[in-house]
Structure 1
Amino acid sequence: MAESPFKFCSDCGKDDWIPKSDREFVCVACGFRHFITPIPAAVALLLDAQDRVLIIRRAHEPGFGLLGLPGGVIEPEESGEMAAARETHEEVGIELPASAFTYLCTLNNRYLFQGYSWPTLDLCYIARVPDFSNVVMQASEVSEFLACPLDEVPLGEFAFESNAEAVRRWRAVHQTSGRVP
């Protein structure tokens, strides 16, 4: 069974746990049940008019120096599309409305944060832009960006398998039916 990411019970403040499963931990002192549930995140697969994919190089952990797609945790009151638009703007400076993002797929992922590998559900979206000339990288998030033809994306260099799988799935859609969204 997994180790609990909780240091103290959120009900009584004690620090003794009984693991019931990999996702449920019960406080010995008061019986309060703590659950690990997936955290929703949005991922943006951005394509230009030449069907190149915008790839970022991560400037922080987890995955420092590895490749990825713009994305992050969905904030309260945001839809997945809203989060994809916000994260795209925050990380690479491209401003798009939420309506520009089309759903591709949802993928499981793990995200190491504060010493615990949290499960996430990555909602992957596609958006098109004319080109990547207006990219402005947020230095705390992105150290480099690449514009890669779809069949040349270096999937083995991605920090998260879910990002690589989103590109694979888009390739499959693109090869089967041609250019979609």
Structure 2
Amino acid sequence: MDVECPDGDTYERYVCKRCGYIAYQNPKILVACIATWQDKLLLIKRGIEPAKGLWSVPTGFMECGETPEEAAARELYEETGARIDVQSLKLYIVGSLPAINEVYLVYRGELTSPEYHTTEEAMEVKFFDLDDPIPIENVAFPQVADAMDNFPFEHRSKNYAVYSSHYDDGKHTVKKIV
């Protein structure tokens, strides 16, 4: 394959000279699930890289054939054994990580029960009281943690916003969009 800008395009792509196939490379989509039980937030201490040993909300990549909400619920279950109703998930953050070609969607929702367990992906699973500070110095993905600053207040009032988050070159901006 050669690299060229196909007719009608504005980006260079890998193009097969023999058959004309264009190999598009597009951003990957990450999903995360902010799962709560009453006034507690479920976090995991990651058991795998990247960021092994650091705290996070359950996070992972979408798979082909699933909706973002299904992916968020699946990642929650795979990492914690906890269950959430896919239909109850609400969009909370739309973020971009252009330096690593990723887009992330963070959903929020209430667990169907407070049961969970550790997994290979989560060496520890724990509820944090929303009144207690999240261990920010030990957070795996600061762009998600930073964007959650208002979550405890919104959760108590049941008045949530939707945010846009952009993280590039060490700069992080968060804007309320709805």
TM-score normalized by the length of structure 2: 0.70
What corresponds to 1:122 in structure 2?
Answer: 104
Give a deviation string over 1:54-107, Cα, whole Å, max 9, x none: 110011111011111112111112111111111111111112231121111212
Give a deviation string over 1:136-164, Cα, whole Å, max 9, x none: 2222x110012112242122311112320
The gaps in structure 2 that reach 5 residues or longer are 5-10, 161-178
What corresponds to 1:167 in structure 2?
Answer: 148
Q: What secondary structure sits across from 1:145 in the alignment?
A: strand
Which of 126, 134, 150 is the equivalent residue of 1:153?
134
Please tell me whether residue 40 in structure 1 is matched to residue 29 in structure 2: yes
User: What is the CA–CA distance in structure 1 between the aligned matches of 2:104 and 2:146, rounded to whole Å?
Assistant: 11
> Any residues of structure 2 matched to 1:2-151 within 5 Å, and which?
12=1, 37-49=26-38, 51-109=39-97, 118-129=100-111, 132=114, 134-139=115-120, 141-151=121-131
Give a deviation string over 1:92-139, Cα, whole Å, max 9, x none: 1112231121111212247xxxxxx7332111111112653x202222
What corresponds to 2:158 in structure 1?
Answer: 179
Letter in 1 for 2:130: L
Give a deviation string over 1:35-71, Cα, whole Å, max 9, x none: 653211110001112x111110011111011111112
The 3 A distance-change label for structure 1 pair 130 and 89 is closer
User: What is the CA–CA distance in structure 2 between the aligned matches of 1:157 and 1:25, rounded to whole Å?
Assistant: 39
Report the identity percentage. 23
The 3 A distance-change label for structure 1 pair 33 and 118 is farther
Q: CA deviation at 1:172?
A: 5.0
Residue 25 of structure 1 contacts residue 33 of structure 1 at CA under 8 Å; is this kept in 2? Answer: no
Give the total of aligned pairs.
153
Letter in 1 for 2:77: H
Q: CA deviation at 1:34?
A: 6.5
Residue 29 of structure 2 contacts residue 62 of structure 2 at CA under 8 Å; is this kept in 1? Answer: yes
TM-score normalized by the length of structure 1: 0.69
Letter in 2 for 1:168: D
The 3 A distance-change label for structure 1 pair 165 and 172 is farther
Letter in 1 for 2:104: D
Letter in 2 for 1:65: G
Task: State the superposition RMSD in angstroms.
Answer: 3.0
The gaps in structure 1 that reach 5 residues or longer are 1-11, 19-23, 111-116
